A = this chain, B = another copy of it.
Amino acid sequence: MQGPKRPTINDIARESGFSKTAVSFAFNDPSRISEKTCQLIRETAERLGYIPDPMARNFSLRRHLSIGFLLPQVVQYSLQNPYTMQVIQGIGTVCETHGYTLTLIPPLHKSITEAVRNAAVDGLITMGMQVDMDIVSVMQTRLLPYVTIDGTPDERMPSVNIQDEQASYDLMNLVLSSGHTEIVVIALSNDAFAKEGEADSVPSKRMRGFNRALSERNLQLDEQNILVCECTLEDGKRMGKLILQRAHRPTCVVAMSDIVAIGCMLSFKEAFVQVPSEISVVGFDDIDEAACINPSLTTVSQPAKEKGRLAAEALFRILNKEELTSAHMEIPYTIIRRESLSDHQD
């Protein structure tokens, strides 16, 4: 009543008159058996509708043939961010060439750690990770290879980054040389699974870059001029509204992420506040939308696909027991000036 059962290797062995070994060889290494045997077995398989069970095969071979990408947030948000999507694209391309699938892993029962405990993959790529997190220790006890993107560099954790501190310094410098002094920074909360105030997290590094540029000009950000938000369009919009409510409006908003910057711009547009004539906005990532939104967004361009690609390639190298030339990969960024940043004079 449970519906038909799939035939197993045993059925084919029995039906064809050969051993399981022979059947296995017929599918995996025909050179080990005679052509005739192979043919007979294949015919029987075809007739009974036999396709070797991938799970049993993988289990026996102790491998999954899949790489996992740990979604840093709930699916809804992670996949809404074009930056993340580009990273996934990069990873996917590499998986494809290796004959692997790419498993997107959302939090399980709200818990990312739980998701990692159960992940049916041969290795993991994560974003914004630090060594002292629970996930890392789970991966280590599972002996699961991993690489992190935008994480906190550590000996025990291969990572792919840009020079976030310097990029942020450059970005803020551009803002400052354009004459802005009334600035609000929208920082990112340390990523989903990070502990508070980790000094070398990407948000911290970016903040440090901003501050360095500011202090070189004897400027300093008041606490009230540092907002923190989730890396989502919605939260970006919320930030935009918060900023508009202020008695004293900044002349420029510096966001740590394009998706947040764009959220802001949408709120500004809704309130008929002109960018950049009334308020400038700059972002970070250079997602496709940054170039195509109106006004176009000034931002830091970082090669997201390339990050994914590098991370995946490093992971496969680890899987193949090859040496990594370097555990910490850094790739170049560029500052892209577009319309959303205007020159300002008091």
Contacts and interface: CB of A to CB of B under 8 A. Distances in A.
A231 B38 CA distance: 41
Contact of A120 (B50, B65, B74, B106): B65
Given A4-B143, A89-B80, A292-B292, A106 B117 contact: no
A119 B142 CA distance: 23
A141 B75 CA distance: 32
State the number of copies, please: 2
A124 to B, nearest CB: 12
A118 interface: yes
Contacts of A24: none
Interface string A125-161: 0000000000000100111000000000000000000
Interface stretch (A51-59, A163-171, A250-258): A51-59
B103 A75 contact: no
A99 B62 CA distance: 23
Contacts of A4: 143
Contacts of A107: 96
A50 B181 CA distance: 55
Nearest to A94: B75
A248 interface: no
A324 interface: no
A317 interface: no
A288 interface: yes
Contacts of A142: 6, 51
A10 interface: no
A233 B292 CA distance: 15
Interface secondary structure of A, over-half rule: mixed
Contacts of A118: 54, 65
B109 A99 contact: yes
A292 B55 CA distance: 44
Contacts of A58: 55, 120
A271 interface: no
Q: Closest 7 CB pairs between A and B?
A: A96-B106, A75-B92, A49-B141, A79-B89, A59-B59, A102-B104, A75-B96
13 contacts: A6-B142, A49-B141, A51-B138, A54-B118, A54-B120, A55-B55, A55-B64, A55-B120, A76-B93, A79-B92, A99-B108, A101-B120, A288-B289
Given A74-B96, A75-B93, A99-B108, 19 more contacts: A6-B142, A51-B117, A51-B138, A54-B118, A55-B55, A55-B64, A55-B120, A64-B120, A65-B120, A68-B101, A75-B92, A75-B96, A96-B106, A96-B107, A101-B103, A101-B106, A101-B115, A102-B103, A104-B104
Interface of A: 3-4, 6, 49-51, 54-56, 58-59, 62, 64-66, 68, 74-76, 79-80, 85, 88-89, 92-93, 95-96, 99, 101-109, 115, 117-120, 138, 141-143, 288-289, 292-294
